[in-house]
Amino acid sequence: MPPFRPFKQSDDVISLFRKGIIIAALVFLSFVLGGAALYFQWGPGPWLEDAFTGGAAWEKKERVIHPPQKKKQHAAFSLKKNGKVVIHRPGMQPGYTLVTVKGASAAWLIDEHGAIVHRWALPFSAIWTKPPHIKKPLPDHRVSWHHAVVYPNGDLVVLLNAAGDTPYGYGVIKVDRDSKLLWKYAAHAHHDLDIGPDGSIYFLTDDFSKQPIRGISLRPPFLLDWIAKLTTNGKEEKKISLIEAFQNSPYMNLLTDRDPNAQRGDLLHTNAVWVLREGVKYRLAGIKPGQLLFSVREYNIIGVIDPEQQKIVWATKGPWRGQHDPRFLENGNILLFDNLGAAKIRKREILHKRSRVIEYDPAAQNMVWSYSGTRTEPFYARYRGSVEVLPNGNILISAVGRILEIKRNQEIVWEYRVHGPKGTVVTTAQRYVAAQVPFLREKIHAP
């Protein structure tokens, strides 16, 4: 007969309770250590962050592709209803402003009073029914005409982007003044494009890479950038790898100090390409017309690449941070939109939100002029932003939903504001004088 053991059931309950406490403690400790690994990038932290980021991006994309059945249909964005001139003073540069807005597959030319004088529009689904470069394209209302350039005859070359997809570049197209598709180029084109004197079209494109890069601490997979060149009829002529251009130059060492606020999955985040023009006093050795000025946001770098040699001939960092849209001025200085150089940032938190436009002397390596808005109304754009010097010397600036024209004395002589749903951002703001868009005159006098 076995010995008597009182309270056996209670002992089992206590044992199970202890085991439950231990398991809960281990789960909590794993959660804390996992969070610490993500925050301080210990051990598997980078892989965990990539997994969480990828999962979140996929879940976001799936929600966009498969929205709830009862979701309200999205109305097309109307600039006529959502745009307005709020400042119009003597001294502005006469002409027409080309505008594109995030969330709209359209472009508009407006006059100085805000009246729409021409509009182009074409949804993505009318361009590609089965795009070869995108497995699951997002709905039309998520695809935008991100950047555009107008020709004298009214043709328009357009760069397409999609909000909520990765890669988000959806292609390059050319339409005539009646929005009829002339040609299309399937690629992950993004951010910016420019047209050279010979009509060649330069733009940025990217794609995923799983290969580690010597000298780069960031672990793959990540997006890598190229500069692509198209002929006037949309045929690919050349693609230049930005990372290889750095490797073929003495400027690879600039890629050792990545911005703390940089996105993990996008190595360079190149956001500008601009063809160097004639008539500029370039004061840097090796720089000449026909080369390409570019901007790398995640390393706060601007530089010049020679498309024939496919290597970087000059690059630098400066007083800017998260910059966009650099371009050379006639005096050889560089004008750019500095998104975060005037902001106060602690770790990843932006405490004092302020952007600025700066003129930088690359030879002397110093800032010679800046504009950051007024005391009562500073301007700020965490992402994007553009600048353009106008024929009369004024500067056209876009920041989120504002388009400003300022004099060098910082007086605002013209301002146009765009309102709309959350996330509405001006992505193109470019001024054309009447002689640059003669098709408008032909349109007015047409029978």
Q: What is the pLDDT of residue 29?
A: 67
Gyration radius from the chain CA atoms: 26
- Return the pLDDT at 52: 45
pLDDT digits (tens, 9 = 90+) for 184-211: 999 999 999 999 999 999 999 999 999 9
pLDDT at 4: 45
CATH 3.40.50.300, applies to 79-445: no
Rounded distance between C-alpha atoms, residue 289 and residue 307, angstroms: 11
Distance, in Å, from the CA atom of 293 to the CA atom of 387, rounded to the nearest integer, reads 14
pLDDT value at 40 more than 60 = no
- pLDDT of 34 higher than 50: yes
Domain boundaries, the chain: 8-64, 79-445
Q: What is the DSSP string of 13-78?
A: HHHHHHHHHHHHHHHHHHHHHHHHHHHHT-TTHHHHHHHHHHHHHHHHHHHHHS--TTPPPPPPP-
Q: Above 80 in pLDDT, residue 336?
A: yes
Q: Which 3 state secondary structure label does DSSP give 140?
A: helix
Q: Quick check: 155 pLDDT over 90?
A: yes
How far apart are the C-alpha atoms of 120 and 110, rounded to whole Å? 12
Q: In what order do the strands lie in the sheet with 96-101?
A: 116-121, 106-110, 96-101, 426-432
* Pair 248, 239: CB distance under 8 Å: no
In this prediction the pTM is: 0.82
Tell me the pLDDT band of 36, cut-offs 50, 70 and 90: low
The per-residue pLDDT for 349 is 65
Tell whether the model's pLDDT for residue 32 goes beyond 80.
Answer: no
Average of pLDDT values for 394-403?
Answer: 95
Mean pLDDT for the stretch of residues 360-367: 96
Structure tokens at 20: 């439950």
Query: What pLDDT sits at residue 17?
Result: 62
For the stretch 115-128, pLDDT in tens is: 999 999 999 999 99
Q: In this predicted model, what pLDDT tens digit does every residue of 237-271 receive, in sequence order? A: 999 999 999 999 999 999 988 887 787 789 999 99
405: enclosing H helix or E strand? strand 402-406
Answer for the pair 91, 413: CB distance below 8 angstroms, yes or no: yes
What are 239's strand-pairing partners? 228
Note the pLDDT of residue 59: 42
Closest CA to 106 of 133, 134, 80, 70: 80
| pLDDT recorded at residue 122 | 97
Mark 273-286 as b/e (b = at least 16 C-beta within 10 Å): bbbbeeebebeeee
Query: Which tens digit of pLDDT belongs to each residue from 415-444?
Result: 999 998 877 899 999 999 999 999 999 866
**Averaged pLDDT of the chain:** 86
Which candidate, 237, 305, 234, places its Cα nearest to that of 268? 305
- Residue 423 in tokens: 């996330």
Mean pLDDT of 358-382: 91
pLDDT above 90 covers what percent of the chain?
A: 69
pLDDT at 23: 73
Give the range among 122-131, 294-303, 334-343 with minimum mean pLDDT: 334-343
Give residues with Cβ within 8 angstroms of 274, minimum separation 6.
192, 194, 292, 293, 294, 325, 326, 327, 328
Amino acid making up residue 31: F
- CA gap 307, 325 in Å, rounded: 19
Contact between residue 323 and residue 333 where contact means Cβ atoms under 8 Å apart: no
Share of the chain above pLDDT 70, in %: 81
Average pLDDT over residues 291-319: 97
Q: In DSSP terms, which residues pair with 205 in a beta bridge?
A: 189, 226
Per-residue pLDDT tens digits for 59-72: 444 343 334 434 45
Question: In which order are the strands placed within the sheet that holds 395-399?
Answer: 83-88, 412-418, 402-406, 395-399, 386-389
Backbone phi, psi, residue 327, to 5°: -155, 145
